[in-house]
Structure 1
Amino acid sequence: MAAQIPIASAEAALSLTLAVVASSPGPLLLLDGELNIVAVSGSFAEAFNIDAAGAPGKPLSDLGGGEWAVPQLRALLEATISGAATIDAYEMDLTRQGRLTRCLVIHAERLTYLDLENPRLLVAVTDVTASRADAKARDEALRQNLVLLQEVRHRVANSLQIIASVLLQNAKKTQSDETRGHLRDAHQRVMSVAALERQLAGSGEPNVELHAYFTALCESIAASMIGDHDQLSLVVTGSLGVVEARVCTSMGLIVTELVINALKHAFPNGRVGKIVVDCVVQGPNWTLSISDDGVGMPADPSQIRVGLGTSIVQALARQLEASVETSSCHPGTRVAITHTRIALVEGDADRVEAATGVARPAA
């Protein structure tokens, strides 16, 4: 049996509660167990054009022009008044005829006090219409900027392909073998950047998946520089990994330089062979390698030439804060570019995977 509350004490408590609600600077409603209005704050009445004096005693569903008669809101309030739930942040649209729809966040809690036979529900209302509109405007601006960026990248890729085509046409027309070689190399450098811009334009993402990019890039190089694919092959291996576009640009140019160098020097006199582009990614660390099974490096170090391609690779590696290591494969040559941000020891690969969400390459 519920405890009996002295009438004077109950009336004093209710009077104090009503005074607190009425003077609240934020929109508040006090409801009884039947979801009838006990009191509304002045700020609520002003915000929603409600007659504060005439509201008490009315059902919540009759408030205003009936716009508060939302079945889901009523169900949530009934669950709260019964003690089965608490409304922490229920978002709803308040639709009023002839007026702007407003986005509201509702908080409701059953008041705990001694008069158990007369439960009360305190409802706080926050109008988030303006903030939601601002967020929507920001999202729309971001979407439009993304579309614009994709269009710019698409046009840049088209322009680069036109430039590459002009270079290739000039290479075919020139009588100088040396000039022809330089033009073909320039063509491939431009195409490596064009391939990246086209992939960025298609994905709409600021980052690049390396395996897909290197595959497209090597297909382009093979199509223009390998005449007999049964004699020479160019393959891409390695794990899936994602890097920023600026990093990918440098990595793509490195691949282009080293693959071109291998095609020029590793397979003389019609030698059959294969070039492998491999990239292993472990969190923020990665190793990019280009290896071939060709004739290998000269035994005499004095015969090793440092050409433009080598200088470009070294400069790009420095920009990436990576190291370059060239080694013999017996047969062939391997050039590895390694970027290490976190030093890994035994068992660290699992922690990097957990922290970054990037899976380790398969063994």
Structure 2
Amino acid sequence: MAGLCKDLAMEKGTRDTAALEGTRTGSGTDTGPARPAFAHDGRHRVAVLVRPGVMPLELGLVHQLFGAARHAADGRPLYEVVTCTPSPGLLRTNADFPVHVSHGTGALAEAETVIVPATHEEDEPECAGRLGGALAEALGRVRRPGTRVASICTGAFVLAAAGWLDGRRATTHWKSAGRFRRLFPAVRLDPDVLYTGEGDLFTSAGEAAGIDLCLHLIRLDHGAAVANDVARSTVVPPHREGGQAQFIAAPVARGGGRSSTGEAREWALRNLGRPLSLRELAGVGSMSVRTFTRRFREETGLTPVQWLTRQRVERARQLLEETDLPVERVAADAGFGTGASLRQHMQAALGVSPRAYRATFRGPR
């Protein structure tokens, strides 16, 4: 990010008449009007804001996942993705090759979704204060109604430095959690989850969690069926269980035959429609309730109750999208028992009622 600070300082003097007004800036480029970043052909516009030291995997996964989202009826692309940077041209990565970025930050003003990947630089503390100036000014043009902003991994430092995450729940890579807390105490950091979403701001943990977040955004826009097709085409799970806790190094128990809770989870998925007790789940795994609860949390990052609730919400979403079953029947089949319980849990998890969710993702029949 030291390179980013230098680039931003160079750009700041020309921003008012150049990049943010749709002109190109940077070494080797002219200052005349730039071509429009987006085709404006009805597709959802996604701008990826990259910085020196960008990780090619994080840049590529955004293009791959959103690029794979297709309309179910005619196969047309649902998203258009462009990459932009403060100084267009060759940009170094954390690999042994650079990438060429054609678009300046003027692309941000046209985007409906802006995604900020991480950089390999390790000097967030040195640069974070200055990010609140030049880059926050550029990104400030993005904060208009209907535009959402997301970060991958330590890209959350950029959003936090701009002040956007104050008072909000956010996450970043667990290795950077301590530094993030010291720099941004006003942010409600949750280092245990794979991604967060609050209003129009989204954050994700490490690189692979960027996949989880992109699939989540596609699911919000176009429903589980489209997101599942994208996951299937890219050979990744449509939804991963648990959070970062399962990836943080921890002492491994020695000795024979530590059993897993996987069998109990598989059994629970086959029996979601009926009441399931913790004692019953522990019995499937041939463990005491205390041991089962501890191991379940270690393996999934969630308590058994949290995990069951999440699976039941996902089952309800699937039934609402793919069937015409009444809400009460959906509630029963998903294991919530009553429509009132289903409404309560869907409101807590998704912020919408079952009927509103069905109207959005299934539509009139």
- TM-score bin (small chain): under 0.3
What is the TM-score of this pair, normalised by structure 2? 0.24
Q: Which has the higher strand share?
A: 1
Higher relative contact order (CA 8 A, sep 6+): 2
Q: Which has the larger radius of gyration?
A: 1
